[in-house]
Amino acid sequence: MLGKLPDKQPLSPMVFFVSATIITIVALAAIFAPQVVNDAFGTAVAWTSRWFGSFYILLITAALVFILALAFSRFGRVRLGPDNSTPDFSTFSWTAMLFAAGIGTEILFFAVAEPVDQYMHPPTGRPDHRGRPRRDRPVPVPLRHLGLGPVRTGGPVHGLLRLPTP
């Protein structure tokens, strides 16, 4: 089974076992020494942000410009597949799938992360009756981010990034 995948594509045991070993080591380190892993990842992110932050922004901007230029040029009409092929999904379906994937990813992450963050670091505002910051509003605040706002703004943005279908 390790030599061949079901569709007859070869599996490289070297790549598989090296990747599995690295993943296992990082996972075990995170379980048994979470602060060490947290510090190491924090240092890596800070170093990467410091040295490659501007490059990353420029790279993403250049990729977006390239994709838009490609989409609106004559190459945007090139069919992927045989000459007689037709798209499996309509433009509306593609836009809906991209929108759903973007919103789904956002909800999976922020539906947990944002309420926890709001609970641990309450927004400034009216304190409770003892003068402490209020911790009873961790859910209503994220609803502004996960409610109709993303639907109004996310749909058009996701739709603009989709390449035109021939």
Give pLDDT tens digits for 15-60. Answer: 999 999 999 999 999 999 999 999 999 999 888 888 888 888 888 8
What's residue 35's pLDDT?
Answer: 93
What's residue 45's pLDDT?
Answer: 86
What's residue 164's pLDDT?
Answer: 42
Residue with the larger pLDDT of the pair 99 and 5: 99
Sign of CA dihedral 78, 82, 83, 84: negative
Residue with the larger pLDDT of the pair 53 and 124: 53
What's residue 90's pLDDT?
Answer: 87
Residue 163 has pLDDT above 50, yes or no: no
Residue 98 and residue 159 in contact, taking contact as beta carbons nearer than 8 Å? yes
What's residue 31's pLDDT?
Answer: 93
Distances, alpha carbon 9 to alpha carbons 2, 12, 17, 93, 150, in Å:
11, 10, 17, 30, 40
